[in-house]
Structure 1
C-alpha cells in the first residue's frame, strides 16, 4: 500500500536527537508554553523564518483563527467573508464569536477566493476577510489586501495548508494580512506530533492581546484584564517542530518536485482528469496534490471520482477527498441561509476533487505507480463519466 501520507518519513532524520532533548525536558520539567524558554525559542525561529515581528504559539490551528478574530473585536452581528470550499473550522470560529460567515464561490483552478466575488459580496456589517491558501496554493493577496484597505476590513490569512509558501514577491504567506493563522496538525507542511498552532502578526498591540488571550487573559504583570482561553503551545510540540522547521524548505522542494513528476506523468491522460495548475503569478507547495476527476455521471451512475478512488484502493494506493461537502450545505451551518446551488463552482469541485499521495521523501517509483493506476482506471472505463 502506498499511504496517502508518510508521517514517519518526516521525522526519521532527527528523532534520536529529539529524544535526547525530551530527556532533558523531563529533567527540567519545562512543559507549558506560557513561560517556557524553549517555546519562546521556537517562536523566535518561526518569526524569523516568516519575516514577522511576532509568532505566538497556541494549542491548535482552530485557536490560531479564533484568537485573532476575537482580538479584532469580531462579535454578534459582524460578518466575515470566506470561501465555502474548505474545512469547517474557518467558519466555526466566526460562529463561536457570535458572527456570521459570508460565503463566496471559488476559482475553479486555484480553489481559492476570487477577489471580484469578495468585493461584490461585502455587506455593511462585514468586518474581516479570511483568505484560505487551500492545498498550499497562494491566494491573490495583493488584490485581497487592496479590497480590505479600501473597505477598512481586517485580513486573517488561513495558512493551515501552506506553511512555508510564499507569494511571488517572496513574502511568506501569513506575513501579509493583519494576522496569519497556522495549523501544525501532523499532516501539514510543518506538522507537530499532536495538535498545535501559531499566530503571526507585525502589530505589537495585537500581539500583546493574543499573548493574554492564550493564557486565560493574563497580562505580563499577572493581572487579568479580559476573559481569555487555555491555548498554550506545549514544549514537547515546540521542540519537535523546531527540528522540522529547519528542514521545512527542503521538504517543500520535495513536495513541489513530486508534483512536477505527477504533472508530467498525467499530462497525456484524457480530459476527464485535470491535474492542478499554478497560475504564473502564484505559487503552490502542494500540501495536498489535488486533481479534478470530471463529474459527468448520468442519473444513477457512480460518481467518477468515487469510482476512481475505489479502484486506486484496489491497486494499493491510498487517497483522500478534501472536501466532499461545501460548508454552506453542512447541517451545522444551515442557518447561514445558502441553499444547495448557491455556489456552483465550489459544489462542482466537491464532487470532483481527489488528493493523491504526496509527501517529502516519496520515491519516483511510488509516484509512477500512482499515476499508472490513474491511467489504468481511465483506460478500463473509456465511457464512464462521459456525456452521451
Structure 2
C-alpha cells in the first residue's frame, strides 16, 4: 500500500530536532507567544519577503482576522462584497461570512482551476471591496491580472495561501507577498505542516499587522489593556518550535514534489485521465497532485484495489453545501464538473522512486 500521505515518515526526519525544540520549550516555562513564536514570525516573514508575519491559531482564523483588521482600519465594512473562488475549500468562504462580509462566488476555469478572469471582472460591483484569490492545490492564482483588476477598481487583495507555502511568481515573489495580506495554514498535511493546528498572516501593512496582533490576543495592546473586542487565536508556542525546525527544508521539499509531478506528467499516459496543468515554473508547489476522471467512483475503487492511496479535494462544491443555503440556487458548471471529477494521488517529499513508478504503472493500466 502506498499511502496518500505518510505524516509519520515526513516528520520522522526531524524527530531529533523536535525533541530538542520541545525540551527548549519546556525549559523556557513560556508557553504562549514566547520566543519560538517570535522566531518563527521573523523567519517566515523573511522567507515570504514581507515586513510582518503574525502567528495565529489556524488558517481560517488567519483569513478572518485579516478581514476583521481591515474593518477596524475602516477599509472594509459589514456587508461589503468579497470576490472568491466558487471551487475553494469552504473555509475560505466561512472566513468571509464570519467577518460579516458577503462572499461573491466566481466561476473557475478548467485549465488551472483558478479564477475565470472574465467572470471575476464581471462579478465586480460598486459594493466590491476585496478579491480573495485562492492558490488552490499549491498553484498560484493569476496574480498579475488580479492585481491589475484591483488597481482598476481599488480593491484589496487578500491571498488564501493555505496550500501554497513557497510558491513563487515569475519575478521571484512568494505567495504571501503578492497582495495586501495573506492567510496561511500549517495544518499537518500542508507542505509546511505543524504537528497540530496553526496559521499565520503575512503582510507589508504596518497598521494591519499591529491590529491583528491585538485581535489574536483578546484585543489587548498590553496585559489587561483591551482596546478592541478581539479573539483568542494564537499560534501555539510548541507548534512554532516544530515549524522552526521544518521551515529550512521547505524549498527542498517543494522541489522534490515538483520532480515527482514532472515524472507523473511525463510518464502517465492514459486518455481516461486528465493531468493537471504545469508550466514547469516555481508557481506550483504541488501541495496536491490532482487528476480528473469521468467515472470517479470506479477509478477510486480501482486505486484502492491496487493499493494507491487517494483523497478527493473536494467532493462537494461550496454552493452545494448545506452550511451555505444562500448559494443553493447558484449554478457553476465548471466548478461542479471539477468537484465531480477530481481525485488526488500520492505526492510527498518522502516517496521513493519505486513508489512513484508504481503509481504511474497503476494509472497507466486503468
Contact 1:309 1:319 in 2 (8 A): yes
CA distance in structure 1 between the partners assigned to 2:115 and 2:281 by the alignment: 15
Q: Equivalent residue for 1:103?
A: 105
Pairwise CA distance, 1:102: 0.5
Contact 2:36 2:244 in 1 (8 A): no
2:269 aligned with 1:278, yes or no? no
Pairwise CA distance, 1:75: 4.5
Pairwise CA distance, 1:7: 1.1
CA distance in structure 2 between the partners assigned to 1:338 and 1:96 by the alignment: 21
- SS class of match (2:225): coil
2:365 aligned with 1:367, yes or no? no
- SS class of match (1:264): helix
Scaled by the length of structure 1, the TM-score of the pair is 0.90
Q: Equivalent residue for 2:35?
A: 37
Scaled by the length of structure 2, the TM-score of the pair is 0.96
Pairwise CA distance, 1:38: 1.8
2:340 aligned with 1:351, yes or no? yes
Q: Equivalent residue for 1:247?
A: 249
Contact 1:101 1:336 in 2 (8 A): no
CA distance in structure 2 between the partners assigned to 1:219 and 1:338 by the alignment: 44
Q: Equivalent residue for 2:64?
A: 66
Cα separation, partners in 2 of 1:346 and 1:56, compared to 1, 3 Å: same
Q: Equivalent residue for 1:386?
A: none
Contact 1:43 1:55 in 2 (8 A): yes
Higher CA-based Rg? 1
What does 1:143-162 align with in structure 2 at a 5 Å threshold?
143-162=145-164
Q: Equivalent residue for 2:44?
A: 46
Selected match of 1:216 from 218, 221, 228: 218
Equivalences, count? 362
CA distance in structure 2 between the partners assigned to 1:72 and 1:336 by the alignment: 25
CA distance in structure 2 between the partners assigned to 1:282 and 1:21 by the alignment: 31
Structure 2 gaps, min length 5 = none
Q: Equivalent residue for 1:174?
A: 176
CA distance in structure 2 between the partners assigned to 1:161 and 1:30 by the alignment: 30
Pairwise CA distance, 1:98: 1.9
CA distance in structure 2 between the partners assigned to 1:89 and 1:329 by the alignment: 14
Give CA deviations for 1:206-231 in whole Å, capped at 9, x if unaligned: 11001000000011475211101000
Pairwise CA distance, 1:338: 3.6
CA distance in structure 2 between the partners assigned to 1:202 and 1:320 by the alignment: 36
Structure 1 gaps, min length 5 = 296-303, 378-388
Contact 1:86 1:322 in 2 (8 A): no
Contact 1:138 1:282 in 2 (8 A): no
What does 1:218-367 align with in structure 2 at a 5 Å threshold?
218-220=220-222, 223-266=225-268, 268-270=269-271, 272-279=272-279, 283-293=283-293, 295=294, 304-336=295-327, 338-339=329-330, 342-367=331-356
- SS class of match (1:161): coil
Give CA deviations for 1:160-214 in whole Å, capped at 9, x if unaligned: 1111111111000110111111000001110000000010000101110010000
Pairwise CA distance, 1:124: 2.0
Runs of 4+ in structure 1 off by over 6 angstroms are none
CA distance in structure 1 between the partners assigned to 2:119 and 2:340 by the alignment: 22
CA distance in structure 2 between the partners assigned to 1:256 and 1:3 by the alignment: 18
Give CA deviations for 1:243-294 in whole Å, capped at 9, x if unaligned: 110100000001000101111221x312x2111112478721100000111x
CA distance in structure 2 between the partners assigned to 1:182 and 1:291 by the alignment: 24
Give CA deviations for 1:55-100 in whole Å, capped at 9, x if unaligned: 0000001101100011111453211111110210100011112222
Cα separation, partners in 2 of 1:282 and 1:245, compared to 1, 3 Å: closer
